[in-house]
């Protein structure tokens, strides 16, 4: 039987490339030859030991080419199609999944014992996935950009939570990859977009790709006061979670405005708004994580139709054999997305 390489994280700073048999197709499934996988914060946390979920074969921002499908009635792709792959687990049987809230699936972890091997599979040469998890993409779009469909889908979900209206003033806090995607999508929704980010280089990049203004966090209060006439912004998206960014969000939003916590927060972080302030100011405070299949559909159309060009967010590319070097680069705060090519 043909074999392929699979990356397995066994501990902090420890990753192995294992030889395994290429998975066998089941009915309704597709065999995908993976070509690109971007390294998300999940892989970075695993590499740094900030997420102890070992052993695990991670990788979920992935793209490849369909090599085979099994069974009649597979409509999402045919052999030869470039595809984005929705790798993350969804049981499709729990109450949340049946309500369309697949990103809040409660069944995917059922029965998973501590220390049991977990497979996602984007950092490998081949993967077998249910065909409904594939999104056909244009042949002239790079696999690197197709792989970014997943983070775009997450930000589509977040932008929907913000309930933006045409002409809204929006503050994005944090200018990493996800912050830049929030800038791009908020601009597409007709908003005037401000970015708060410590790095001058990241601020300049945001200004070149849609931000109307970008400034250091300590300048935010003055800039926004002047820009909005003291009213505050209509919506804030927090893409880097900390007590400081939570406080900045609550200070920047107008009465009746909306705050979306997109970035994960330390467990002991204060949200910056108590029940009394929420009541008096009528601020809507919401969270956003992961994505639904509807979000995936919107994200892939944005890329397939040429509405989003994201090549500038790929900081570097590495072969799968150099995954350790790629991970070291990915944890550098100046990097955007690092892509691993299988």
Q: For residue 196, is the peptide bond before it cis, meaning its omega torsion is within 30 degrees of 0? A: no
pLDDT in tens, 111-131: 454 555 588 889 999 999 999
Q: What is the pLDDT of residue 111?
A: 45
Closest-CA residue to 18 (of 33, 3, 34, 6): 6
The order of strands in the sheet holding 169-173 is 213-215, 192-196, 169-173, 233-238, 253-261, 284-287
Q: How confident is the model at residue 109 (pLDDT cuts 50, 70, 90)?
A: low
Residue 220 has pLDDT above 90, yes or no: yes
Say which residues have a Cβ less than 8 Å from residue 100's Cβ, sequence separation at least 6: 292, 294
- With pLDDT > 90 as the criterion, what percentage of the chain qualifies? 72
Say which residues have a Cβ less than 8 Å from residue 315's Cβ, sequence separation at least 6: 329, 335, 336, 337, 338
Residue 6 has pLDDT above 70, yes or no: yes
Residue 263 has pLDDT above 90, yes or no: no
Q: What is the pLDDT of residue 66?
A: 96
On average, the pLDDT of the chain sits at 91
Shared domain check, 144 and 34: yes
Section 34-49 average pLDDT: 93
Q: What is the pLDDT of residue 18?
A: 94
Q: What is the pLDDT of residue 50?
A: 85
208 within domain boundaries: yes
pTM score, two decimals?
0.92
Three-state secondary-structure class, residue 175: coil
Per-residue DSSP letter, 124:
B
Residue 164 has pLDDT above 70, yes or no: yes
Residue 82 has pLDDT above 70, yes or no: yes
CA distance 242 to 270: 8
Section 14-43 average pLDDT: 93
Query: Is 184 in contact with 210 (CB distance < 8 Å)?
Result: yes
For 186, the enclosing helix (H) or strand (E) is: helix 177-188
Dihedral class, residue 71 (left if φ above 0, else alpha if ψ from -120 to 50, else beta): left
Shared domain check, 144 and 72: yes
Among the ranges given (88-92, 200-204, 234-238, 321-325), the one the predictor scored with the smallest mean pLDDT = 88-92
Q: How confident is the model at residue 49 (pLDDT cuts 50, 70, 90)?
A: confident
Backbone angles phi, psi at 244, to 5 degrees: -65, -40
Tokens 């910056």 locate to: 272
What's the domain count of the chain?
A: 2
Residue 245 has pLDDT above 80, yes or no: yes
Q: How confident is the model at residue 306 (pLDDT cuts 50, 70, 90)?
A: very high
Shared domain check, 109 and 239: no
Shared domain check, 159 and 144: no
Shared domain check, 222 and 178: yes
70 within domain boundaries: yes
Section 261-281 average pLDDT: 81
Residue 254 has pLDDT above 60, yes or no: yes
Three-state secondary-structure class, residue 264: coil
Q: What is the pLDDT of residue 90?
A: 82
CATH of the domain at 337: 3.90.180.10
Shared domain check, 258 and 174: yes
Q: What is the pLDDT of residue 260?
A: 97
Shared domain check, 136 and 214: no
CA distance 199 to 241: 16
Shared domain check, 208 and 80: no
Shared domain check, 10 and 56: yes
Task: Give me the domain span that covers residue 191.
Answer: 155-287
CATH of the domain at 255: 3.40.50.720
35 within domain boundaries: yes
Residue 171 has pLDDT above 80, yes or no: yes
Shared domain check, 177 and 135: no
Q: How confident is the model at residue 160 (pLDDT cuts 50, 70, 90)?
A: very high
300 within domain boundaries: no
302 within domain boundaries: no
Query: Is 213 in contact with 196 (CB distance < 8 Å)?
Result: no
Q: What is the pLDDT of residue 117?
A: 59
Shared domain check, 159 and 143: no
Q: What is the pLDDT of residue 93?
A: 84
Three-state secondary-structure class, residue 273: coil
Shared domain check, 197 and 249: yes
At 113, list the tokens.
């014992």
Section 246-267 average pLDDT: 91
């Amino acid at each position: 039987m043909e074999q392929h390489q699979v990356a397995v994280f066994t501990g902090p700073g420890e990753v192995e490339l294992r030889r395994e048999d290429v998975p066998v197709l089941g009915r309704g499934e597709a065999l995908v030859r993976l070509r690109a996988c971007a390294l998300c914060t999940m892989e970075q946390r695993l590499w740094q030991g900030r997420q102890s979920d070992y052993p695990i074969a991670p990788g979920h921002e992935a793209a490849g080419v369909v090599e085979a499908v099994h069974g009649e009635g597979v409509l999402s792709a045919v052999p030869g199609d470039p595809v984005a792959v929705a790798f993350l687990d969804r049981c499709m049987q729990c109450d949340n999944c049946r309500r369309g809230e697949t990103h809040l699936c409660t069944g995917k972890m059922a029965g998973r014992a501590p220390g049991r091997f977990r497979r996602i599979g984007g950092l490998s040469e081949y993967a077998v996935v249910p065909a409904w998890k594939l999104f056909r993409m244009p042949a002239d779009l790079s696999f690197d950009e197709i792989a970014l469909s997943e983070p775009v889908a997450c930000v589509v979900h977040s932008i929907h939570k913000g309930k933006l209206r045409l002409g809204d003033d929006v503050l994005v806090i944090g200018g990493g990859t996800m912050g830049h995607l929030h800038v791009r999508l908020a601009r597409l929704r007709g908003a005037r977009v401000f970015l708060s980010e410590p790095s001058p280089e990241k601020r300049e990049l945001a200004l070149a790709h849609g931000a109307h203004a970008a400034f250091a966090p300590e300048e935010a209060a003055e800039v926004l006061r002047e820009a909005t006439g003291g009213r505050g912004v209509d919506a804030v998206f927090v893409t880097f979670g900390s007590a400081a960014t939570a406080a900045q969000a609550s200070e920047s939003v107008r009465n009746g405005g909306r705050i979306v916590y997109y970035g994960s927060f330390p467990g002991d972080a204060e949200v910056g708004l108590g029940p009394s302030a929420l009541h008096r100011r009528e601020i809507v405070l919401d969270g956003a994580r992961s994505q639904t299949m509807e979000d995936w559909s919107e994200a892939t159309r944005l890329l397939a139709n040429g509405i989003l060009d994201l090549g500038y967010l790929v900081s570097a590319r590495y072969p799968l054999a150099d995954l350790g070097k790629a991970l070291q680069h990915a944890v550098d705060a100046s990097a955007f997305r690092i892509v691993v090519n299988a």
